[in-house]
């Protein structure tokens, strides 16, 4: 196979993009699209999300010490596009879109109810890697569309039509 040097940026692809929802101390709810998201520990279960410090959500996550990772299917495409192209700095985009929210059970942040899987996380560490601050989140609760959860509790990820 012939090889050629390629672009370094975001060279791990495809990566499933998610919506991260959060809430500031003053009760401001928000969500943004995040491509920098991955599992980072099996035991205890932990995930990591990379947020650029200039994002409005960055301050909210710093303040609250928690966030929710919402997996996104094709049915959520309009929400995904809106959250990734608008900033809370210019107004309450969740309200403007009419996003359906549900209270977190374990963390003080909203879940995006129309997304098939919602992962509640508490920030246990963070690393500024360069352009992004990687927030390490301990998984506190996982909610999944009941139709996707098997007898063993495992999520049937193959049935999710990821964006
Ligand atoms: C496909 C896609 C991937 C993105 N990935 C990230 C990311 O990994 N980290 C990040 O901080 N912003 C990312 N963004 C940008 C934010 O979602 C976007 O700037 C958003 O409007 C920020 O909202 P906020 O200012 O209300 O927090 C991405 C946007 C898109 C469309």
Q: Which pLDDT score is estimated for 143? A: 96
* CATH code of the region 18-159: 2.30.110.10
Distance 153 CA to ligand 1 centre (A): 31
Domain range list for the chain: 18-159
* pLDDT score of 36 more than 90: yes
- Residues 19/110, Cβ–Cβ less than 8 Å: no
Has residue 111 got a pLDDT over 90?
yes
Residue nearest to atom 18 of ligand 1 (CA): 84
Residues 6+ apart with CB under 8 A from 22: 29, 30, 31, 57, 60, 61, 64, 66, 67, 68, 109
Tell me the average pLDDT across 140-162.
95
Token pair 């209270």 is found at 103
What is the predicted pLDDT for the residue at 51? 98
Residues in contact with ligand 1 (CB, 6 Å cut-off): 17, 30, 32-36, 50-52, 55-57, 84, 86-89
pLDDT in tens, 3-22: 999 888 888 888 889 999 99
What integer pLDDT is reported at residue 11 of this predicted model?
86
Banded model confidence at residue 46, pLDDT cuts 50, 70, 90: very high
In this predicted structure, what is the pLDDT of residue 9?
Answer: 86
Structure tokens, 4: 């050629």
Contact between 163 and 73 under an 8 Å Cβ cutoff? The reply is yes
What pLDDT was estimated at residue 92? 98
Q: Whose CA is nearest to atom 6 of ligand 1?
A: 34
CA atoms within 13 A on the CB side of 85: 7
Of all residues in the chain, the percent with pLDDT exceeding 90 is 93
Answer whether residue 89 shows pLDDT above 90: yes
């Amino acid at each position: 196979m012939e090889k050629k040097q390629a672009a370094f940026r975001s060279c791990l692809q495809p990566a499933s993009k998610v919506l991260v929802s959060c809430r500031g101390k003053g009760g401001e709810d928000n969500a943004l699209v995040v491509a920098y998201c991955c599992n980072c520990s099996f035991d205890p279960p932990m995930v990591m999300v990379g947020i650029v410090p200039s994002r409005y959500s960055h301050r909210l996550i710093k303040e609250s010490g928690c966030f929710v990772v919402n997996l996104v299917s094709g049915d959520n495409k309009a929400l995904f596009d809106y959250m990734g192209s608008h900033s809370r700095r210019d107004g309450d985009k969740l309200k403007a879109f009419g996003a359906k929210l549900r209270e977190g059970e374990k963390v003080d942040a909203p879940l995006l109810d129309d997304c098939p899987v919602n992962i509640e996380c508490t920030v246990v560490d963070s690393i500024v890697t360069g352009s992004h601050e990687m927030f390490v989140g301990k998984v506190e609760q996982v909610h999944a569309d009941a139709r996707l959860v098997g007898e063993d509790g495992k999520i049937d990820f193959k049935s999710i039509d990821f964006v």
